[in-house]
Amino acid sequence: IAEVKHIGLTITLPDINESLLNFSVTDEKIIRFGMGAIKGVGGAAVENIINERTENGPYLSTLDFVKRVNLRSVNKRSIEALIMAGAFDGFENTHRAQYFYRENENSSTFIETLIKHGSSYQEQKNSMQQSLFGGVDDVSVSDPEMPVCEPWPKPQMLKSEKDVIGFYISGHPLDDFKICMQRYCNADAGYLKANLKKYEGSAVSFAGMITKAQQRVSKKGNPFGIITIEDFSGPIDLMMFSEDYLKRKHFLEVGNNVLVQEKIEERYRGGELDIRVNNMMLLSEAMEKLTSAVVLNIPVGDLNDSLIDKLVELVRLNPGNSVLKIKFISPDKNNGFAMKSTTYKIEPQGFVNELAKIRGLSFIIES
């Protein structure tokens, strides 16, 4: 994904009305994910979806979809996988959580309701076609309404994508921590894994999401942990033993985003290199723990009531323990003076994420 963005292309989620069996490229330099690459969606199902779409036009809704496709080829497993991959996201006023909604613990999911509805419609349609007096327009199966429920949180939505696609497309669990990682990390996990020698003897910091975690016991009865941490560049495996492991085992759960501070050192003078974890913290808490102040640079010419109101609101919504400083920059950018807020302190993670959305402002994070 990073390489695609780097060379100016875009990769998009599979789409029930756009995707082919394999990956395809549009004239707008967009790579469209192929439906055949979704786990749980077989070639026969994709062929049926595409043939029906070609012969009778785009699908107008999910209801239209289940009425038209062959539900023996495009079965429940295929439809679930297509939904989790985002293939139905293009339909208006729908979201993925609706399809998995249950009214209660014993009721069916809405996917099951849709499939039953599609089967009933097709059976009645076929019956009418075979009748001497009936017509296709006589089919009368009332459409179920989409349930009303909250959309999935972003982490759950991204997890569903990765489960059936193999990686994240519409976002990444670490997106909200990019600024923190740029400020406090000096290595990428994927690059570090392939270049340990370059960092020998150095203090290294990197961050990522724990994607695998194992807790084991050595032959001597000592507990140790093996974890895989993945960032935007790829994964790296870490092992922690004895006291290092016992101090940090509460962090070692799949799905946790962590910042790791470590040292690359020789293993028992044997020539091979090890990663010795010196410190670990939740990435959501890292900015607050490591930041002493945020310095906001404001060109004097940009200062107006609207900007002041935005900044006041950001400070109000992100109370914390870090100092806020505002530096006013002169028009020629040669002079400026800084002021420290004596009344308000901020939570830097949320504050700088919102600051980054305001055009023309820059800031410095002090540790």
What is the pLDDT, as a whole number, of residue 132? 55
3-state secondary structure of 266: strand
Residue-wise pLDDT for 216-250, tens only, equals: 888 888 888 999 999 988 899 998 888 888 888 88
Specify the 3-state DSSP secondary structure of 196: helix
Tokens (6 digits) for 302: 């940009």
| Per-residue 3-state assignment (H helix, E strand, C coil) for 134-160 | CCHHHCCCCCCCCCCCCCCCHHHHHHH
Q: Cβ(147)–Cβ(98) under 8 Å?
A: yes
Angle 30-61-26 from CA coordinates, rounded to 5°: 15
So what's the pLDDT on residue 133?
Answer: 58
Q: Is 155 left (phi over 0), alpha (psi -120 to 50) or beta?
A: alpha
Distance of alpha carbon 95 from the chain centroid: 16
Q: What is the predicted pLDDT for the residue at 322?
A: 93
Phi, psi of 12 (to 5 degrees): -115, 160
| Helix (H/G/I), strand (E/B), else coil: 261 | strand
CB atoms < 10 A from the CB of 144, how many?
12
Predicted pLDDT of residue 258: 95
Task: Outline where DSSP puts E strands in 81-120.
Answer: none
A 10 A CB-CB count for 23 gives 14
Residue tagged 């394999």 (tokens) = 22
Categorise residue 259: left if φ over 0, alpha if ψ from -120 to 50, beta otherwise: beta
Q: Which amino acid is at 16?
A: I
pLDDT for the residue numbered 194: 85
Helix axes 283-290, 348-355, angle to 10 degrees: 90
Residue 140 has what pLDDT? 63
d(Cα 87, Cα 81) in Å, to the nearest integer?
9
- Tokens 């009305």 correspond to 17
- Reading the chain (367 residues) residue by residue, the pLDDT tens digits are 778 888 888 899 999 999 999 999 877 788 999 999 999 999 999 999 999 999 999 999 999 999 999 999 999 999 999 999 999 999 999 999 999 999 988 899 999 999 999 999 999 888 876 665 555 555 566 889 999 999 999 889 999 999 999 888 888 889 999 999 999 999 999 888 888 888 888 889 999 999 999 988 888 888 889 999 999 888 999 988 888 888 888 888 998 999 999 888 876 655 677 788 889 999 999 999 999 999 998 888 888 898 889 999 999 999 999 999 988 887 776 666 778 888 889 999 999 999 998 887 889 999 8
pLDDT of residue 272: 74
DSSP label at residue 65: H
CA 113 – CA 94 distance, rounded (Å): 16
Q: In what order do the strands lie in the sheet with 10-12?
A: 10-12, 30-32, 24-25
